[in-house]
């Protein structure tokens, strides 16, 4: 991985944190999932890891010495944040707005504009730090919800950088996401990435729905086509490094000692183990109440089971976390007071981070891994427990709201809000025959070993590399800006000239209904000036029905009209329309119309347009999410209906058009040119896929112009109808 450019990891925290201890500084290893996950990967690369190093303190040579050491030894680069920015960013917008909302706790949201300002500021400082380190060929991998603006900020500063983003927490449903103040800025920030990856497919789909609902941006399952950049979308569930856990069990003395101690201490008891950050998303009070329900409904289990709850303190300066801490302590006290005996303590509560050896010993000793967050991006504890179950005798009880549930089907999946239901499952699990436990655990084991943190990160990096090089290739294919001076000179020199001009999106912007896009008087006059130029065939070539073209341009002198993407043609001198083929079938309309009308009935704001040889379902004014969803449905229904016919259902700009496959703009070139003496100048201007047919069929030296950003077969581009009109105006005046 290191041979092909460095990997630059960017996350809010570095894996090491500096804490002030009186006059001295103490280095702590963070207990978060991200640090546990990425550290082994980084060791294998020669990259850098940029992040906030912890407490700051003006100029302090000892602190600076520590940080310089980190950089030398591990490649960790400190991103300094002023204390108030660090605090408002992390404890403000990131953890009191984004965190609760993304975990479906909208009522826990606090939104303070100062928190947002700090969030923007912190993201900018991270951008500056990345730019300082960035070298050509580097891959930048940004992590998590604290840095959602960073891909966009980096893209602005370095358009060709390779930027990836991974979201560790869930992406909420669009109904939830739309509550978020500053929601569109965040979406735009994310779209700065070449690769955007989520823990599960559900998260990815939620992201796409939010993008559509909030920005009106359509996407495919695997990518968002932006104006200038594409963003590849992926679901990449994170894994762990299972062998490292096994090594502790097999080789580490203190792990083995701790394991024996647990066995002795809890002899005769079934151990139910829970390990969490002390966070309201992890469902600790729900678990404790469930445990109480278990002891109430199955008195035979009293004195036979113990719940070991390990909870590492987290975000302690946020009031909600303080409340949670009290609630958990009280519940533990209540349960132990109610059910405990001098010989038996039902809940063993450890409110601290514990050493890896102790953690592994507990995982190995536990009969049940009790992992029931109310919502979780993935949850590594579930995977760690499985990795440590070497004898495969334990059982995993897993919340269906953890990302891990999507992969760990052999676990017992429960709804943690249903405390009675969960207690019932637990009771059953405790009596599960060994054979069943082994079978389930062995299957989970295989999965945890197959999808590790190494395969995860390698896949991310290779996808990022691929996405970035596609981007580079696409940029190479992007048409150059039209050199207007050269065009004008060629136009002036030419003896026979043909212009092919598309209408909607090329000469006028898109309107809500086809009727609203009627041409302004200035455009009609421009076209008539072009139409009357000597030795020039000016052709309006559109997907429009002939009735529209005739109503608007029927009297424009010298103009050729092509309707319905090339099905019909009207010459300037004549008044009648010619068909491309001797006859074009229309009987099919009676079969297709009811299908489209059925969709109109279900979609407020949509309607059917009837052309001579085509039917079009328009949904520009419909709810974007619903309209998009229905359009997909419609196309798949029609594909079945139209299979083995000459008809196709083609997606356009917020429309689905059913027409004959051979009506095509490219077909028209020879008909228009046939009437002219030697043609030595061709200009074609258009904005959508039907114009691509034209660009492809024209000779190499034609002036082909794509309107808008993105790739095209055209040689040149212009940004929108206003520019097209300005260029034509110049030609008309020559």
- Catalytic residue ranges: 502
Distance separating alpha carbons of residues 123 and 113, to the nearest angstrom: 15
Based on the shown chain and the rule CB under 6 A, indicate whether residue 148 belongs to the binding site for ligand ADQ.
no
275 binds ligand ADQ (CB under 6 A): yes
Distance CA 79, CA 127 (A): 10
Query: By CB under 6 A, which span of 3-11, 113-121, 379-387, 722-730 interacts with ligand ADQ?
Result: 379-387
d(CA 580, CA 667): 8
Query: In 55-128, which ranges are E strands?
Result: 76-78
Which is nearer to ligand ADQ, 246 or 488 (by Cβ)?
246
Considering beta carbons, is residue 13 or 706 the nearer one to ligand ADQ? 13
Q: Of the listed pieces 373-381, 588-596, 653-661, 703-711, which binds ligand ADQ according to CB under 6 A?
A: 373-381
Stretch that binds ligand ADQ, among 146-154, 351-359, 573-581, 691-699 (CB under 6 A): 351-359
> Of 142 and 161, which has the nearer Cβ to ligand ADQ?
142
- Tell me how far, at minimum, the Cβ of 221 lies from ligand ADQ, in Å: 22
Q: How many residues touch ligand ADQ (CB under 6 A)? A: 24
Taking alpha carbons only, the member of 360, 350, 391 closest to residue 258 is: 360
CB of 53 to ligand ADQ, least distance (A): 19
Q: Is 147 in the site for ligand ADQ (CB under 6 A)?
A: no
Q: Which C-beta is closer to ligand ADQ: that of 378 or that of 499?
A: 378
32 near ligand ADQ, rule: CB under 6 A? yes
Whether residue 630 contacts residue 647, with contact meaning beta carbons closer than 8 Å, is answered with no
* CA–CA dist 726, 300 (Å, integer): 86
Nearest to 507 by CA among 532, 525, 495, 485: 525
Which of the stretches 5-13, 30-38, 388-396, 721-729 binds ligand ADQ when contact is defined by CB under 6 A? 30-38
Extract the tokens encoding 640: 């079945």
- In this chain, which stretch among 81-89, 380-388, 460-468, 593-601 interacts with ligand ADQ, using CB under 6 A? 380-388
Residues 382-411 contacting ligand ADQ, CB under 6 A: 384
**152 vs 369 by CB, closer to ligand ADQ:** 369
Pick 173 or 625: Cβ nearer ligand ADQ:
173
Asked whether the beta carbons of 398 and 413 are under 8 A apart, the reply is yes
Q: Which is nearer to ligand ADQ, 33 or 566 (CB)?
A: 33
**Residue from 12, 36, 174, 712 that binds ligand ADQ (CB under 6 A)?**
36
- Convert 235-246 into a string of H (helix), E (strand) and C (coil): ECCCCCCHHHHH
DSSP tally for the chain: helices H, then strands E: 26, 28
Closer residue to ligand ADQ (CB): 385 or 491: 385
379 forms part of the interface with ligand ADQ (CB under 6 A): yes
- Out of 10, 14, 37, 364, name the contact with ligand ADQ by CB under 6 A: 37
- Determine, following the binding rule CB under 6 A, whether residue 494 of this chain makes contact with ligand ADQ: no
DSSP symbols for 548-570: HHHHHHTT-TTEEEEEGGGTEEE
Q: Is 277 in the site for ligand ADQ (CB under 6 A)?
A: yes
Give dist(CA 414, CA 425) in Å, integer: 8
Q: How many CB atoms lie within 10 A of CB 574?
A: 9
**Residue 378 is a binding residue for ligand ADQ (CB under 6 A):** yes
DSSP 298-364: -GGGTTTEEEEEEEE---TTSHHHHHHHHHHHHHHHHHHHHH-BTTB-SEEEE-S---HHHHHHHHH
Q: Nearest approach, Cβ of 667 to ligand ADQ (angstroms)?
A: 54
The SS3 assignment for 399 reads: strand
Place of tokens 């061709």: 682
Contact between 312 and ligand ADQ by CB under 6 A: the answer reads yes
Is residue 246 at the binding interface for ligand ADQ, with CB under 6 A as the rule?
A: no
For residue 231, the surrounding DSSP H or E stretch is strand 230-235
Which residues, other chains included, contact 100 with Cβ-Cβ below 8 Å and sequence gap of 6+? 106, 108, 109
| Per CB under 6 A, 203 contacts ligand ADQ | no
Which residues make up the interface to ligand ADQ (CB under 6 A)? 31-34, 36-37, 168-169, 238, 275-277, 310, 312, 353-354, 359, 376-381, 384
């Amino acid at each position: 991985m290191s041979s092909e450019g460095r990997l630059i990891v960017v996350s809010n925290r570095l894996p090491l944190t500096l804490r002030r201890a009186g006059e001295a500084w103490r280095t702590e290893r963070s207990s978060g999932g991200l640090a546990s996950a990425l550290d082994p990967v980084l060791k294998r690369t020669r990259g850098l890891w940029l992040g906030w190093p912890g407490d700051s303190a003006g100029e302090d040579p000892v602190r600076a010495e520590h940080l310089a050491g980190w950089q030398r030894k591990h490649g960790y680069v400190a991103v300094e944040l002023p204390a108030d920015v660090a605090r408002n960013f992390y404890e403000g917008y990131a953890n009191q707005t984004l965190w609760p909302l993304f975990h479906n706790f909208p009522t826990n949201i606090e939104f303070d504009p100062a928190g947002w300002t700090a969030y923007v500021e912190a993201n900018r400082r991270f951008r500056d730090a990345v730019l300082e380190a960035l070298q050509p060929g580097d891959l930048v991998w940004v992590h998590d919800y604290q840095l959602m603006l960073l891909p966009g900020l980096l893209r602005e500063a370095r358009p060709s950088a390779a930027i990836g983003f991974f979201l560790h927490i869930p992406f909420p449903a669009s109904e939830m996401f739309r509550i978020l103040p500053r929601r569109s800025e965040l979406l735009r920030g994310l779209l700065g990435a070449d690769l955007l990856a989520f823990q599960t497919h559900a998260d990815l789909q939620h992201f796409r729905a939010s993008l559509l609902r909030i920005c009106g941006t359509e996407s495919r399952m695997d990518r968002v086509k932006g104006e200038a950049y594409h963003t590849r979308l992926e679901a990449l569930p994170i894994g762990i490094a299972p062998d490292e856990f096994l090594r502790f069990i097999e080789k580490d003395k203190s792990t083995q000692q701790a394991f024996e101690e647990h066995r002795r201490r809890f002899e005769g008891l079934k151990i139910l183990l829970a390990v969490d950050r002390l966070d309201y998303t992890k469902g600790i009070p729900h678990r404790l109440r469930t445990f109480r329900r278990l002891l109430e409904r199955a008195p035979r289990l009293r004195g036979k089971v113990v719940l070991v709850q390990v909870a590492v303190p987290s975000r302690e300066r946020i009031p909600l976390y303080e409340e949670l801490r009290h609630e958990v302590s009280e519940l533990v006290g209540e349960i132990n007071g109610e059910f405990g005996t001098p010989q038996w303590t039902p809940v063993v509560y450890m409110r601290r981070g514990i050493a890896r050896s102790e953690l592994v010993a507990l995982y190995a000793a536990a009969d049940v891994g009790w992992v029931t967050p109310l919502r979780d991006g993935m949850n590594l504890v579930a995977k760690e427990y499985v990795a440590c179950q070497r004898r495969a005798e334990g059982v995993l009880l897993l919340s269906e709201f953890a990302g891990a549930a999507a992969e760990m089907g052999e676990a017992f999946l429960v709804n943690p809000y249903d405390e009675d239901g969960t207690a019932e499952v637990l009771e059953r699990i405790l009596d599960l025959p060994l054979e069943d436990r082994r079978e389930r655990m062995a299957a989970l084991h295989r999965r945890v070993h197959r999808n590790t943190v190494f395969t995860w990160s390698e896949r991310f990096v290779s996808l990022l590399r691929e996405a970035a090089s596609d981007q580079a290739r696409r940029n190479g294919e992007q048409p150059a800006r039209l050199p207007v001076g050269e065009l004008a000179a060629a136009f002036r020199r030419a003896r026979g000239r043909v212009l092919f001009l598309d209408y909607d999106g090329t000469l006028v912007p898109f309107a809500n209904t086809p009727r609203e896009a009627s041409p302004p008087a200035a455009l009609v006059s421009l076209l008539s000036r072009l139409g009357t130029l000597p030795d020039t065939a000016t052709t309006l070539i559109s997907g429009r029905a002939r009735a529209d073209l005739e109503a608007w341009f029927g009297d424009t002198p010298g103009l050729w009209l092509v309707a319905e993407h090339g099905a019909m043609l009207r010459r300037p001198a004549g008044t009648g329309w010619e068909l491309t083929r001797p006859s074009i079938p229309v009987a099919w309309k009676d079969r297709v119309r009811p299908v489209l009308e059925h969709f109109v009935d279900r979609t407020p704001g949509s309607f059917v347009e009837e052309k001579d040889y085509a039917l079009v379902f328009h949904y520009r004014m419909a709810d974007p999410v619903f309209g998009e969803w229905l359009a997909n449905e419609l196309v798949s229904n029609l594909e079945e209906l139209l299979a083995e016919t000459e008809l196709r259902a083609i997606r356009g700009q917020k429309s689905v058009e059913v027409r004959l496959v051979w009506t095509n703009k490219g077909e028209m070139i020879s008909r228009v040119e046939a009437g002219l003496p030697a043609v030595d100048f061709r200009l074609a201007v258009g904005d959508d896929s039907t114009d691509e047919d034209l660009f492809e069929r024209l000779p190499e030296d034609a002036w082909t112009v794509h309107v808008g950003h993105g790739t095209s077969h055209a040689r040149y581009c212009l940004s929108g109808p206003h520019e097209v009109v300005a260029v034509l105006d110049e030609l008309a005046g020559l």
